């Protein structure tokens, strides 16, 4: 079984959620001075909203009871990891913060950005925005990031005060250890960012609807339990504002729902910058009309847009890294250049629309910073 994605309903719900949380937390009496307030933002990649109810998740429910829970967070367009994680730390849509996909080409810089090659360390891709760790540091406070996407890239001449070089083999426990160390240091951080690759990784491999996802979700819940335990041991639980969220959900795909670009396009006429569920297509010189006409009505489950026709509500138009043509697959459908060559989970993946979950444990007497 495979899983894939499609983008839907990209609204500003994330911002609405942020507003709701801010409204809620600002209404409580403040017992700590701003310089004493601390926030830990945790992302479990690809934690679909309903995972919470698929198997017992006592630690998530403990956080919900201790604080607040919103039923969904709507990701931005497109529904990929890097664009959404940069939104979480900048408050901007992809067209504004510039990380418009996991795989990009910037025609002005004449440079490519590829998550697959981890070719992401070029500062110029990140500097359309200022991530919150820099804002925090400019306010005179320290930040610490454990594998948060982009946090080991030099942005506007800065790194987080403390950070870990990205290495997916570093355990969750080791990442938590660093976070605890930074929050309890002689000069403690006020902002911590913690990233974990699952359940996204296993969701790609198994498909989000697979019964085999049950143990994966249980494992994430146990990891959250471990984090809570360590925060309590370090006497941080009562003073820290903890926000747990995710970047996108997932939709089940199948091998029967694949759109092969080779059936419609001459591959010498374009470059495929990003693949699925939103194909980013760069026609070669003089081939724009030919490529667009060939694809526009090619498949009933594919909607093709010239860049200037991309719906405004997606906030995905005004950036050089958005290609002249994008082709958007319906939910559950995947786009591949060639099925026989490319039918791999990593392409027929993931990511979709229907929102992730967000939980926040807010101490009754604390303020919370939400962004």
Q: Candidates 104-112, 126-134, 157-165, 246-254 — which segment interacts with Zn ion by CB under 5 A?
A: 246-254
Distance CA 336, CA 29 (A): 54
Alpha-carbon span 365 to 98, nearest angstrom: 37
Of 46 and 332, CB closest to Zn ion:
46
Measure the CA–CA gap between 133 and 369, rounded to whole angstroms: 13
Looking at the Cβ atoms of 46 and 160, the one nearer to Zn ion is 46
Least CB distance to Zn ion at residue 237 (A): 27
**Toward Zn ion, which CB reaches closer, 247 or 342?**
247
Instruction: Report DSSP state, residue 194.
Output: E
Strand pairing category for 258-260 and 334-336:
parallel
- Residue 221 vs 247, nearer CB to Zn ion: 247
Interaction pattern, residues 247-286, with Zn ion; x per rule: CB under 5 A: x---------------------------------------
Residue 195: Cβ within 10 Å count: 23
Minimal distance, residue 81 CB to Zn ion, in Å: 3
Residue 204: closest CA among 75, 355, 45, 7: 45
Candidates 81, 87, 319, 349: give the one binding Zn ion (CB under 5 A).
81
Q: Which stretch binds Zn ion (CB under 5 A): 28-36, 74-82, 202-210, 256-264?
A: 74-82
Q: Are 251 and 330 spatial neighbours (Cβ–Cβ below 8 Å)? A: no
Q: Rounded distance, CA 70 to CA 299, Å? A: 37
CA distance 262 to 270: 11
Query: How far is residue 147's CA from residue 345's CA, in Å, rounded to a whole number?
Result: 23
Q: How far is the CB of 219 from Zn ion (least distance, A)?
A: 17
Site string (188-217) toward Zn ion, x via CB under 5 A? ------------x-----------------
Show the site string, 321-360: x = touches Zn ion by CB under 5 A, - = not: ----------------------------------------
Query: Does 81 participate in catalysis according to the annotation?
Result: yes
The DSSP secondary structure of 3-56, one letter per residue, reads EE-------SHHHHHHHHHHHHHHTSPP-S-GGG-EEEEEEETT-BGGGGGTS-
CB of 40 to Zn ion, least distance (A): 19
Choice among 57, 74, 79, 81 that is catalytic = 81
Smallest gap from Cβ 249 to Zn ion, in A, equals 10
Which SS3 state, helix, strand or coil, does residue 147 take? coil
Q: What are φ and ψ of residue 290, in 5° steps?
A: -60, -45
Q: How far is CA 317 from the centre of its chain?
A: 19
| CB distance 367 to 31 below 8 Å | no
* Smallest distance from Zn ion to CB 244, Å: 15
Question: For residue 204, what are the contacts with CB-CB under 8 A and spacing of at least 6?
Answer: 3, 46, 250, 345, 346, 349, 350
For Zn ion, which is the closer residue by CB, 7 or 46?
46
Q: What is the DSSP letter of 263?
A: G
Q: 203 with 216: CB under 8 angstroms?
A: yes
Q: Which residue is nearest to Zn ion (CB)?
A: 81
Q: Which stretch binds Zn ion (CB under 5 A): 35-43, 120-128, 241-249, 317-325?
A: 241-249
Give the x-and-dash track for 7-46 against Zn ion (CB under 5 A).
--------------------------------------xx
Q: Give min distance, CB of 251 to Zn ion, in A.
A: 13
For residue 3, which phi and psi values (nearest 5 degrees)? -135, 155
Interaction mask 43-72, Zn ion, x per CB under 5 A: --xx--------------------------
**Count of residues interacting with Zn ion (CB under 5 A):** 5
Does 366 help bind Zn ion (rule: CB under 5 A)?
A: no
Residues near Zn ion (CB under 5 A) are 45-46, 81, 200, 247
**Residues with a known catalytic role:** 81
């Amino acid at each position: 079984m495979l899983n894939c994605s499609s983008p839907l309903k990209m609204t500003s719900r994330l911002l609405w959620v942020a507003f709701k949380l801010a409204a809620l937390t600002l209404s409580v009496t403040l017992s700590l001075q701003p310089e004493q307030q601390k926030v830990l933002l945790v992302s479990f990649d690809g934690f679909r909203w309903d995972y919470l109810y698929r198997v017992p998740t006592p630690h998530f429910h403990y956080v919900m009871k201790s604080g607040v829970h919103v039923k969904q967070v709507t990701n931005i367009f497109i529904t990929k990891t890097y664009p959404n994680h940069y939104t979480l730390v900048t408050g901007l849509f992809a067209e504004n913060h510039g990380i418009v996909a996991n795989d990009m080409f910037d025609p002005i810089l004449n440079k490519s950005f590829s998550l697959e090659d981890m070719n992401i360390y070029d500062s110029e891709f990140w500097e359309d925005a200022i991530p919150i760790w820099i804002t925090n540091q400019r306010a005179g406070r320290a930040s610490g990031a454990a594998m948060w996407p982009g946090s080991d890239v030099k942005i506007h001449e800065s790194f987080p005060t403390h950070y870990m070089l990205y290495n997916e083999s570093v355990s969750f426990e080791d990442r938590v250890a660093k976070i605890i160390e930074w929050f309890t240091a002689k000069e403690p951080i006020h902002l911590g960012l913690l990233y974990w690759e699952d359940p996204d990784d296993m969701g790609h491999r198994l498909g989000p609807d697979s019964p085999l996802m049950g143990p994966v979700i249980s494992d994430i819940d146990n990891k959250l339990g471990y984090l809570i335990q360590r925060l309590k041991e370090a006497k941080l639980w009562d003073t820290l504002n903890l926000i747990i969220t995710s970047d996108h959900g997932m939709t089940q795909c199948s091998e029967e729902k694949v759109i092969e670009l080779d059936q419609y396009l001459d591959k010498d006429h374009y470059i495929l910058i990003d693949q699925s569920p939103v194909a980013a297509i760069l026609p070669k010189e003089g081939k724009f009309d030919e490529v667009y006409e060939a694809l526009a009505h090619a498949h009933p489950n594919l909607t093709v847009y010239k860049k200037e026709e991309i719906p405004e509500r997606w906030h995905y138009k005004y950036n050089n890294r958005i290609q002249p043509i994008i082709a958007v697959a319906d939910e559950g459908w995947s786009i591949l250049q060639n099925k026989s060559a490319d039918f791999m989970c990593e392409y027929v993946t993931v990511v979709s629309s229907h929102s992730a979950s967000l939980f926040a444990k807010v101490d009754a007497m604390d303020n919370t910073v939400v962004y």
